């Protein structure tokens, strides 16, 4: 598929109004996306677990209007929200070529998250994928051709992911589950334009994998991901990093099939630390980890060694720690989290999640 394939060619302009609703999850990358080219094209491939419970629910109500400019209102958790407007405006501008009906309607966008507001959890992946899916449902309602074939289902998901990517790169990996690859590579079916469900073998060790998100710092990040990505331009280690991501993805594919948990831990933790190493070696350099992030990492390493556990950590572009572990270790690991790690979480907060199957129309 190319960009051209995602341009809506014709639609029924007689539909006056309607409403659609989706819930879409967050995702956690195992091989990280860090560095992008123009138009949100990633510099390297990434793969993520789709989460189950951390999600955004978005309802979009559309009403016909005179075609002049974009028109929308956003309600976040019941209250009108002006702060999100510029982001949505930019998003609409980026996707208008692909959705020529956007200026024909006024949109009321009502959105809420299952995870606490300002928990420091990136809501852009779930938020942008949820709105992209709503717009796709509207496109489907306006489309002259109504078709329920597998082909049209795939087109729907691919285009939803394509649009979500233009909102926020990692959002393109939130449409489907349980593992999604984004970015052209030689090991898996893939595209730079949208996320693709990972179709390789997945050993039962990885079924219902658990993710406990330890909220170390709920504050606003000092450096946004968008700025961080840009600092990979001219970064002294960029070339090596991008090629490492290809190798790690190839290795991970084999590991997912074989169920080798020890090898999984090594790749996942190395990816997390490499991501933060890139931040620390950018110019300007920055650190998003906090002292408690390191305390938690050290505790996890201790626990793993002492208990022959397969627990590991990963990090996003922030201080919070995602603790990943097989379902078989759930009871013991939660005991450990409660007794040893909660002390390092802001107000003792953490979120229990696991791998999920992707977005749902409500
Ligand atoms: C560190 O997708 O938030 O979470 O494309 O600028 O919106 P933009 O960035 P974003 O980058 C997140 C990167 C990451 C790693 C990952 O999810 O792969």
Give DSSP secondary structure letters for 63-74: EE--SSS-EEEE
> Has residue 356 got a pLDDT over 70?
yes
Ligand 1 is surrounded, with C-beta below 6 A, by 29, 32-34, 40, 46, 122, 124, 168-170, 225-226, 229, 275, 316-317
Please name which of 254, 249, 283, 296 lies closest in space to residue 268, comparing C-alpha atoms. Answer: 249
Atom of ligand 1 at shortest distance to CA of 165?
5
Mean pLDDT of the chain: 95
Task: Provide, rounded to the nearest whole percent, the portion of the chain with pLDDT above 70.
Answer: 98
User: Best substitution site from 122, 170, 182 to test ligand 1's pocket, by max atoms within 8 Å of Cβ?
Assistant: 170
Confidence of residue 67 (pLDDT cuts 50, 70, 90): confident
Greatest mean pLDDT range, 115-119, 207-211, 221-225: 207-211
Sheet of 321-325, strands arranged across: 312-315, 321-325, 210-214, 350-354
Q: For position 220, what pLDDT does the model report?
A: 72
DSSP label at 220? P
Round to whole Å and give the CA distance between 57 and 78: 12
Q: For position 148, what pLDDT does the model report?
A: 78
For residues 176 and 356, the answer to whether their CB atoms sit within 8 Å is no
> Has residue 257 got a pLDDT over 90?
yes
> Has residue 123 got a pLDDT over 90?
no
Confidence of residue 94 (pLDDT cuts 50, 70, 90): very high
CA of 46 from ligand 1 middle (Å) equals 10
Which residue reads 């990979």 in tokens?
232
> Has residue 146 got a pLDDT over 90?
no
User: Best substitution site from 33, 39, 41, 224 to test ligand 1's pocket, by max atoms within 8 Å of Cβ?
Assistant: 33
Long-range own/partner contacts, residues 284-287 (CB < 8 A, 24 or more apart): 284/231, 286/222, 286/223, 286/228
For residues 313 and 269, the answer to whether their CB atoms sit within 8 Å is yes
Atom of ligand 1 at shortest distance to CA of 170?
2
Q: For position 209, what pLDDT does the model report?
A: 98
- Residue 322 CA: distances (Å) to CA of 29, 108, 192, 318, 346: 10, 34, 26, 11, 14
Q: What is the pLDDT of residues 199-221, one digit of tens each?
A: 999 999 999 999 999 999 877 77
Q: For position 145, what pLDDT does the model report?
A: 67
Alpha carbon nearest to ligand 1 atom 5, residue:
169
**How many C-beta atoms lie closer than 10 Å to residue 154's C-beta?**
13
Q: For position 222, what pLDDT does the model report?
A: 80
> Has residue 117 got a pLDDT over 70?
no
Q: What 3-state DSSP class applies to 212?
A: strand
Round to whole Å and give the CA distance between 150 and 38: 31
Q: What is the pLDDT of residues 53-65, one digit of tens each?
A: 999 999 999 999 9
Q: What is the pLDDT of residues 232-255, one digit of tens each?
A: 999 999 999 999 999 999 999 999
For residues 28 and 62, the answer to whether their CB atoms sit within 8 Å is no
Atom of ligand 1 at shortest distance to CA of 228?
6
For residues 196 and 180, the answer to whether their CB atoms sit within 8 Å is yes
Task: Provide, rounded to the nearest whole percent, the portion of the chain with pLDDT above 90.
Answer: 89
Confidence of residue 150 (pLDDT cuts 50, 70, 90): confident
Please give the residue that has the higher pLDDT: either 283 or 150.
283
Q: What is the pLDDT of residues 171-187, one digit of tens each?
A: 999 999 999 999 999 99
Token pair for 82: 């002006």
- Residue 169 CA: distances (Å) to CA of 13, 203, 215, 230: 31, 28, 23, 13
Round to whole Å and give the CA distance between 209 and 133: 25
- Residue 310 CA: distances (Å) to CA of 7, 171, 207, 269, 273: 45, 28, 14, 12, 18
> Has residue 343 got a pLDDT over 90?
yes
Atom of ligand 1 at shortest distance to CA of 229?
6
> Has residue 306 got a pLDDT over 80?
yes
Which residues are within 8 A (CB) of 113 and not within 5 positions of it... i.e. 6 or more apart? 54, 55, 56, 57, 77, 123, 126, 127
> Has residue 120 got a pLDDT over 70?
no
Q: What is the pLDDT of residues 283-301, one digit of tens each?
A: 999 999 999 999 999 999 9
């Amino acid at each position: 598929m190319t960009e051209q394939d995602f341009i809506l060619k014709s639609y029924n302009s007689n539909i006056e109004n309607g409403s659609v609703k989706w819930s879409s999850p967050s995702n956690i990358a195992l091989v990280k996306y860090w560095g992008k080219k123009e138009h949100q094209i990633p510099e390297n491939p990434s793969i993520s677990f789709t989460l189950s419970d951390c999600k955004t629910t978005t309802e979009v109500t559309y009403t016909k209007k005179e075609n002049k400019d974009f028109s929308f209102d956003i309600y976040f958790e019941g209250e009108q929200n002006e702060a999100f407007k510029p982001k949505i405006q930019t998003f609409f501008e980026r996707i208008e070529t692909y959705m020529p009906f956007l200026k024909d309607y006024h949109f009321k966008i009502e959105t809420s998250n299952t995870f606490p507001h300002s928990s420091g959890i990136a809501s852009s992946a779930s938020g942008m994928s949820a709105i992209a899916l709503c717009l796709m449902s509207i496109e489907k309602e306006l489309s002259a051709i109504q078709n329920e074939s597998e082909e049209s289902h795939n087109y729907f998901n691919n285009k939803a992911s394509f649009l979500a990517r233009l909102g926020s790169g990692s959002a393109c990996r939130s449409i489907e589950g349980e593992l999604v690859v984004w970015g052209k590579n030689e090991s898996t079916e893939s595209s730079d334009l949208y996320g693709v469900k990972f179709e390789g073998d997945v050993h039962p060790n990885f079924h219902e994998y658990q993710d406990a998100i330890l909220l170390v710092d709920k504050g606003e990040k000092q450096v946004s991901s968008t700025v961080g990505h840009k600092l990979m331009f001219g970064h002294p280690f960029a070339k090596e990093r991008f090629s490492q991501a290809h190798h790690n993805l190839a290795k991970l594919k084999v590991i997912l099939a074989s169920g080798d948990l020890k090898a999984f831990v090594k790749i996942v933790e190395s990816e997390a630390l490499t991501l933060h190493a890139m931040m620390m070696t950018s110019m300007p350099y920055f650190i998003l980890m906090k002292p408690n992030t390191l305390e938690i990492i050290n505790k996890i390493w201790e626990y793993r060694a002492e208990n022959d556990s397969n627990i590991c950590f990963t990090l996003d572009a922030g201080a919070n720690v995602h603790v990943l572990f097989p379902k078989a270790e759930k009871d013991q690991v939660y005991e450990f989290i409660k007794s040893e790690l909660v002390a390092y979480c802001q107000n003792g907060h953490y979120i229990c999640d696991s791998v999920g199957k992707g977005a749902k129309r409500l």
